[in-house]
Chains A and B, each alone.
Chain A
Amino acid sequence: MQRILNALIQFRNVVLYLLLLFIALVFINGNSEFHKTIFSRYGFYVSQRFQSINHKITYFFSLSEVNKKLLEENTTLKALELQNNSIALYPDALTQKARFPFKVVGANVIKNGFLSQRNYVILGRGKAGGIQPEMAVISKNGVVGLVQDVSENYSNVISILHEDMKINVRLKNNRAFGSLAWKGKHPQDFQIEDIVTSAQIRVGDTLITGGMSSYFPVGIPLGKVVQLDSIQLDGYYTIDVKLFEDPSQVQYVYLIENQDREEIKDINQKKNP
């Protein structure tokens, strides 16, 4: 306190001057509209600067929260997108309410790989987050795999990069369908083996999920045709496919639950006992 007083006494002229200057400026501000305008313009500029810095700092610290919200929103949008694509399955969608038995949740990828012939993906969401075995796993631009086991907080997914994994696919502008399997080398190089040669297929055609497997809804884009090794005299094409997205590089995935799967399973068993 004594030091503050000493400093005040030492700089009393400066303090006095600044005080009186402030009074004079307030006086000008009150008397002259012109000066008032300019002062308020500077005031606005300065406060804008501070607001902007303040906003940047707050924004930086809220980024993770924003990110989380965006992912939630993306999950909702993904569900809507899939629902929208699935309308093709129900030609009467305009007159009756289209059923969409799929439910979408999001999850982070903890571990991923493509070095083995049988690759697995581990997700940071498990039973507690509503994950069940046999849920389909897709990413922004393709399929990732199928849930095999779940623990409380994690789940193990058979990657699409697994030699036993086959996915029902079809062409976007053609009804021809077949099953997609990994070639086992580059994580984006896949092959379709059983599309009949009567189908009109060209290089560059887009592949989407076929919706025949009860795991994946129809219409998830997967990749495009890069090469046609036609006619091996057995009536089937061998098609080389390149995926849109490398499944070993995804960070965030969506899990799809088919709520009708039990029903489909039941009816299937009744038919083929």
Chain B
Amino acid sequence: MTRENIVLWATFLALLFFQPFVFNQFQLFGSINPLVYLLFLVLYPFDQEQALFIVLGFCLGLGIDFLGQTAGAHTVATLTTAFVRPKLIRYAYGSTAEIPARYIDDSRTFNNFLFLVFLITFHHFLYFIMVYFSWDALGLIANNTFFTSLFSLLLISLISRFYSK
């Protein structure tokens, strides 16, 4: 097991702990809880086997739902985001350009930023759809997606700095 792998597993476990017990208690401006556990979906190597990644995404969502006492919205959103991540990567880095092996390996700031925005917005949108689960709440879903994404983006891009070599 390489050092990267150990770091990745440690991150997985740490996020599983910190998300429900720390980040879910933030309640910025009343209700905004940044979903920092998406860091795992960002850090996981791009060139690895996708099937394992989908299972890991499912497990992460399930764990957070369990520990955070939520119904299952995290599971659906995280699982789906893990499933579509290759497409998001292609959109963010361009289909013709060389795709990096890992997020932190790449030095193109704009593409990295784009990737984060795609991933986080997609996940949050799905998450809030699952939470409200009604077309009447579309305005509320959009509002929550926007503000929560903003804080998640901020925290994830900050934390991911520490993983750079």
Contact = CB atoms under 8 A, between A and B. Distances in A.
Contacts of B118: none
7 contacts: A13-B83, A20-B54, A20-B55, A24-B61, A24-B72, A24-B76, A24-B79
Interface of B: 50-51, 54-55, 58, 61-62, 65, 70-73, 75-76, 79-80, 83, 130, 133-134
A28 B72 contact: yes
A80 interface: no
Given A20-B58, A27-B65, A38 B51 contact: no
Contact of B75 (A13, A24, A34): A24
A38 B134 contact: yes
A20 B33 CA distance: 26
Interface string A1-33: 000000000001100110011011101100110
Given A20-B58, A31-B65, A31-B70, 11 more contacts: A12-B51, A13-B50, A13-B51, A16-B51, A17-B54, A21-B80, A27-B75, A28-B76, A28-B130, A34-B71, A35-B133
A40 to B, nearest CB: 13
- Size category of the A interface is 10 to 19
B71 A28 contact: yes
B75 A17 contact: no
Nearest to B61: A24
A216 B19 CA distance: 92
- Which 5 A-B residue pairs are closest in the complex by CB-CB distance? A28-B72, A32-B71, A24-B75, A31-B71, A27-B72
Nearest to A36: B71
A16 B133 contact: no
Nearest to A15: B51
Q: Which among B54, B61, B71 has the greatest number of chain A C-beta atoms within 10 A?
A: B71
A12 B76 CA distance: 18
A28 B75 CA distance: 9
Nearest to B50: A13
B75 to A, nearest CB: 4
A17 B58 CA distance: 9
Contact of A17 (B65, B72, B79, B134): B79
A64 to B, nearest CB: 45
B76 A16 contact: no
A6 to B, nearest CB: 16
Contacts of A23: 58
B4 to A, nearest CB: 23
B46 to A, nearest CB: 15
A20 B71 CA distance: 15
A176 to B, nearest CB: 74
Interface in A28-57: 28, 31-32, 34-35, 38
Contacts of A34: 71, 133
A29 to B, nearest CB: 8
Contacts of B72: 24-25, 27-28, 31-32, 35
A16 B55 contact: yes
B62 A27 contact: yes
A31 to B, nearest CB: 4
Nearest to B134: A38
